[in-house]
Amino acid sequence: MRIDDCLARMMAIPGAQRVTLVDCASGLAVASAGRDDRVDQHEDAAGATDVVRAVLGSAALSATPDGDDVEEIIVCGSAGYHLLALTGPDLDGHLFVHLVVDREKGNLALARLRMQGLVREMAVR
């Protein structure tokens, strides 16, 4: 599946407002779709990357003493959710998807399920 098709399907998740594919090492926004009223897409990507790197680098945020694999990071705001879904080792773990979901129109559990499927499909593309 092409990246753009993949992003389009992520935008079809109920309540999805914006989706960005980010390179985890450099914090570079590789592709994005959806609402575009942010100050700077690349600044957003860099900020989200800081969060991912902080979690990956923190032993306190792993569920086992020897460090488990982080699959998602979720930030809940009063108006919406941020879902940061990390691609697994199939994509070298070097990309993550940042999905913004409206709190009223969206459903976090559904968004997570759909996202997991799409990330898996993207990894085997």
Partner 1 sequence: MTAPNGAGEVLRALHGLERDGRSGVLRVGDVGSFEVADGAVVHAECRYTAGDWAEPIALFDAACFLLGVEGAPRFTEGPVSRGAARPVTAATLACELRRRRDLLDAEWPSADVDAAPVVPVRRVRRQRVFLTGLQAEILLNADGRRTPAELARDLGRTVFGCLLSVRGLAAASLVRAVRPGAPAERREPSREPSRDLFDGGMPRDGWAPADHQLLERLRAALVEL
- Encoded one letter per residue, x for contact with partner 1 by CB under 8 A and - for no contact, window 10-49 reads -----------x-xxxxxx-xx--------------x---
Q: How far apart are CA 56 and CA 60, in angstroms?
A: 10
Asked if residues 122 and 87 have their Cβ atoms less than 8 Å apart, the reply is: yes
Which range in 4-12, 33-41, 50-58, 99-107 contacts partner 1 by CB under 8 A? 50-58
> Residue 60 and residue 57: Cα distance in Å, rounded?
9
Structure tokens at 22: 């980010």
Tally of CA atoms within 13 A in the half-sphere of 21 that contains its CB: 23
Q: Identity (one letter) of the amino acid at 16?
A: A
Residue 47 is classified by DSSP as: H
- 58 vs 116 by CB, closer to partner 1: 58
71 part of the interface to partner 1, by CB under 8 A: no
Among positions 35, 38, 94, 120, the unique one binding partner 1 when judged by CB under 8 A: 94
Of the two residues 100 and 122, which places its CB atom closer to partner 1 in the complex? 122
Residues that bind partner 1 (CB under 8 A): 3, 21, 23-28, 30-31, 46, 56-59, 67, 89, 92-95
